[in-house]
């Protein structure tokens, strides 16, 4: 499965890129499983995803909880808690 | 309807409210909120990043929710991104209704939402130092007022 | 401080808020409320009478009370009198603070006070018929939110 | 005691004047006593003050309750419940 990943704020800075298109292995059941896999890709990915309580995930532009089923998303965004307004 | 947009340019609060009320005589109340950059602790600028696809989608959803919750007659949400200097306006929420209660409530609701759910991130610039702003628990508590069981409304 | 005045002439909301925020970088939030004349049931004009000596005295007192209750950085209250046409703005409350909670609360507090304690009386004009507006119990209930034992704050 | 009376809205209309300067007799203890005396001055005064629940009184620009002691005010205002804002 091919997914478009986008990163924001310090997640973007730690990973070192604003986004990437990745082939994701089959068998990842939840969002947490996906993050566990993503964290193995580089030291930057590992650093960005180390504290799961400090990051938020949106799947196809909707917030999801870590235990949400992964499904077949087109775009996954990873970022810190928002600070707009 | 409540129009929502994100832009780098400054906005004109008077023009936004005039657009809501112009030529109408059914509007009795207009509430606006304008957020400005504070020069706290030597801050020299605020850098605002956002996630355009999600911002647009989520702003439309929250605008529709406010429209359903209160008897509103019009509204406007404008959020800026990019580098903003102390004193500059960041965000505008303007709400029109027949009566003041609905206008105040919807404006507060939308601001609480923008603070806690809209995908914007602020970075504080102090000279050559940059610091990502952390989310505030008080903002989460304010937003929780509007959800069932989330405290008083 | 919170400046308060009564006038027959129209006011400029943008100029009022610019006066609060101009040249400052400690203000993070500006909330405005603008009340407009609604053309309900064929209304052709609203005639507003007031008691100048009491209005001035009471506006200063309530402005001082708001200043004491919330950490505010500036404010403006403008109330018009005379004959106003549908769509025209009657009243403006603009409040500046570091944060949005205080600005929203003080603006609502001042509007609730203006509705229930400021000595203004509205007469509705419909063609050649005139009708004094009656006070509303809902306004009293809103104002009671701010007094001890008067409901939730 | 000489007091300046001012009337607003339909209280003004029923009394027929916007205000008047009156010599008030001694011995009026409360605001209600004063209104009782004022109501005897003309049919217009009587009509304006007939429904005490529908009028409000300010003494020297402060709201007072009907049972407030009269004191020695300079100005008394009588009007319906306010409808500003």
Question: Per-residue confidence at B151, pLDDT binned at 50, 70, 90?
Answer: very low
The per-residue pLDDT for C140 is 87
Question: Per-residue confidence at B147, pLDDT binned at 50, 70, 90?
Answer: confident
In D, minimum Cα distance to C109 occurs at D85
Per the domain annotation, does B153 fall within a domain? no
Per the domain annotation, does C96 fall within a domain? yes
Q: Which secondary-structure segment (H or E) carries D65?
A: none
Question: Per-residue confidence at B137, pLDDT binned at 50, 70, 90?
Answer: confident
The per-residue pLDDT for C149 is 57
Question: Per-residue confidence at C147, pLDDT binned at 50, 70, 90?
Answer: confident
Distance from CA of C48 to the nearest CA of B (A): 15
Regions of chain D where pLDDT drops below 70: none
The per-residue pLDDT for B149 is 57
Dump pLDDT digits (tens) for A28-64. 999 999 999 999 999 999 999 999 999 999 999 999 9
Q: Assess contact for C139 and C111: CB atoms under 8 A.
A: no
Which stretch of A67-71, B92-96, C134-138 has the lowest confidence by average pLDDT? C134-138
Per the domain annotation, does C151 fall within a domain? no
For C94-121, what is the mean pLDDT? 96
The per-residue pLDDT for B152 is 43
C-alpha A52/C-alpha A37 separation (Å) is: 13
Encoded tokens for A4: 């478009």
Per the domain annotation, does B152 fall within a domain? no
ipTM of the complex: 0.92
C-alpha B105/C-alpha A9 separation (Å) is: 31
Contacts of C34 in chain B (CB under 8 A): 17, 29-30, 32
Contacts of C37 in chain B (CB under 8 A): 25, 28
Q: A2-79: which CATH architecture?
A: Roll (3.10)
Domain that includes residue B130, residue range? 2-144
Q: Which of C133, C88, C94, C131 is nearest to C115 (CA)?
A: C133
Q: Which of C109, C121, C79 is nearest to D56 (CA)?
A: C121
Dump pLDDT digits (tens) for D33-53. 999 999 999 999 999 999 999
Task: Tell whether the model's pLDDT for residue C153 goes beyond 80.
Answer: no
Dump pLDDT digits (tens) for B76-110. 999 999 999 999 999 999 999 999 999 999 999 99
Q: Which of C53, C72, C69 is nearest to C118 (CA)?
A: C53
Our CA dihedral for C116, B92, A81, B113, rounded to 10 degrees, sits at 40
Dump pLDDT digits (tens) for B5-62. 999 999 999 999 999 999 999 999 999 999 999 998 999 999 999 999 999 889 999 9
C-alpha C28/C-alpha B35 separation (Å) is: 5
C24 CB-contact burial (10 Å; exposed 0-12 / middle 13-18 / buried 19+): middle
Would you list which residues of chain B are within 8 Å, Cβ to Cβ, of chain C?
12-14, 17, 21, 23-39, 86-87, 98, 100-101, 103-104, 107-108, 111, 142, 152
Question: Per-residue confidence at B136, pLDDT binned at 50, 70, 90?
Answer: confident
Total domain count for chain B?
1
pTM of the predicted protein model: 0.93
The per-residue pLDDT for C17 is 96
Would you list which residues of chain B are within 8 Å, Cβ to Cβ, of chain A?
35, 48-51, 53-54, 57-58, 79, 90-91, 111, 114-123, 132-136, 139
Dump pLDDT digits (tens) for C1-11. 999 999 999 99
Dump pLDDT digits (tens) for C31-65. 999 999 999 899 999 999 999 999 988 999 999 99
Q: Are strands C72-80 and C129-132 parallel, antiparallel or unpaired?
A: unpaired
What's B127's domain CATH number? 3.90.1170.40
Q: In whole angstroms, how far apart are CA B148 and each of B135, B137, C102? A: 22, 18, 24
């Amino acid at each position: 499965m091919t997914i478009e990943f986008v990163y924001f704020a310090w997640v973007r800075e730690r990973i070192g890129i604003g986004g990437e298109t990745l082939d994701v292995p089959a068998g990842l059941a939840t969002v947490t499983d996906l993050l566990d896999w993503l964290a193995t890709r580089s030291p930057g990915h590992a650093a960005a995803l180390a504290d799961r309580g400090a990051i938020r995930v949106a799947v196809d532009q909707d917030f999801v909880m870590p235990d949400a089923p992964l499904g077949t998303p087109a775009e996954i965004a990873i970022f810190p808690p928002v600070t707009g307004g | 309807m409540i129009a929502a947009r994100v832009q780098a340019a400054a906005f004109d609060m008077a023009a936004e409210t005039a657009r809501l009320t112009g030529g109408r005589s059914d509007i009795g109340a207009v509430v606006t909120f304008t957020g400005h950059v504070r020069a706290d602790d030597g801050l020299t600028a605020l850098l605002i990043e956002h996630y355009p696809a999600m911002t647009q989608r989520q702003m439309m959803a929250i605008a529709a929710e406010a429209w359903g919750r209160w008897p509103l007659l019009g509204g406007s949400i404008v959020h800026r991104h990019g580098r903003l200097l102390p004193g500059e306006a960041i965000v505008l929420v303007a709400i029109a209704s027949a009566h003041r209660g609905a206008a105040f409530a919807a404006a507060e609701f939308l601001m609480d939402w923008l603070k806690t759910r809209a995908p914007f991130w602020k970075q504080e610039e102090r000279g050559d130092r940059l610091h990502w702003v952390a989310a505030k628990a008080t903002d989460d508590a304010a937003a929780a007022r509007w959800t069932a069981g989330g405290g008083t409304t």
